[in-house]
Amino acid sequence: MKDINMIIEELKTNDKFRYKHSVGVMETAMELAKIHGEDVEKIKIAGFLHDYAKMYSNEKLREYVKEYNLDLDPMLIYTKDLCHGPVGAELIKERFNVTDEIILNSIRYHTFADRNMSKFDMILYLADLIEPNRKVFSGYYKIKKLAYTDVEAAMIVALDKSIKYILEKGEKLYVESVELRNRLLD
């Protein structure tokens, strides 16, 4: 693959790329990976590039879903913002030659917690929530504290929060996220 430091340089000046947030997620994810014994170099790439597809409109993202023939649950395609994960994974594979499935999966799943998420995937998911440039939300400090000591416990709190939020808005739940929460509770 292309050297990650070169990609970082290259995307610095792209005004549609969320550079500050991406660096924040990258640094937080690297810190967490170090603590929890996951691959720091791989999570550096995943952290920096996780929102790569976010510079495209929802319309454009749906076009990519067709173009790449992605087999996604329709609710992931039509709920705003959920398909930038899976589309992003395809784009960075093609544009930066990232082929490592551990990296690609964590990017795919960061938008909609999948039932089979690994610890690596959870670290990226949590880093996205707690990176220092994020606006503080209720539960932020609790999730942040837990993320450094117990990834699964942090993930349960994060899922609870997200599920509550979806219920309050009266929207559909993604069944796999509920299944993941059940798995973690066991």
Contact residues toward Fe ion (CB under 5 A) are 51, 128
Neighbouring C-beta atoms of residue 140, cutoff 10 Å: 14
- Chain CA centroid to CA 78, Å: 18
Q: Which two tokens stand for residue 140?
A: 């932020």
- Chain CA centroid to CA 73, Å: 17
Output 106 or 185, the one with its CB closest to Fe ion: 106
- Distance in angstroms (rounded) separating the CA atoms of residues 91 and 75: 21
Q: Could you tell me the smallest distance in angstroms from the CB atom of residue 142 to Fe ion?
A: 20
Output 51 or 90, the one with its CB closest to Fe ion: 51
Output 47 or 180, the one with its CB closest to Fe ion: 47
Output 124 or 151, the one with its CB closest to Fe ion: 124
Question: Angle at which helices 101-109 and 84-96 pack, to 10 degrees?
Answer: 150
